[in-house]
Amino acid sequence: MDAFRLLENYLAPEEVISFACWAFGPDFAEIENGAQMVTAWNILHWNLYQLFISGSMSEDLPAMIELWRERGDDSFGVFEE
């Protein structure tokens, strides 16, 4: 999916899969469009940062990556609070 190519602008190649798995779940490779990406993120991370279909992924990605770097790869983004 083209949206995942956008990740390469923000992450080192070795980080892309780890981030995608954390951000969108272990089935991230099955995501076919931006709406599915937004939905997957919001299911896992609604309490950290919400995405909107009308938003811009290129504007949201820096915040999403910062959260990933702060929180680490914790069970693909499913957090117990």
**pLDDT tens, 10-34?**
999 889 999 999 999 999 989 988 8
Indicate whether 43 pLDDT > 50.
yes
- Residue 61 pLDDT: 92
Q: Which is more confident, 43 or 58?
A: 43
Which tokens belong to 47?
């309490």
- Residue 39 pLDDT: 95
* 19 C-beta neighbours (distance < 10 Å), count: 21
In this prediction, residue 65 has a pLDDT band, given cuts at 50, 70 and 90, of very high
In this prediction, residue 51 has a pLDDT band, given cuts at 50, 70 and 90, of very high
Tokens 């299911």 -> residue: 43
42 vs 55: CA distance, rounded Å: 13
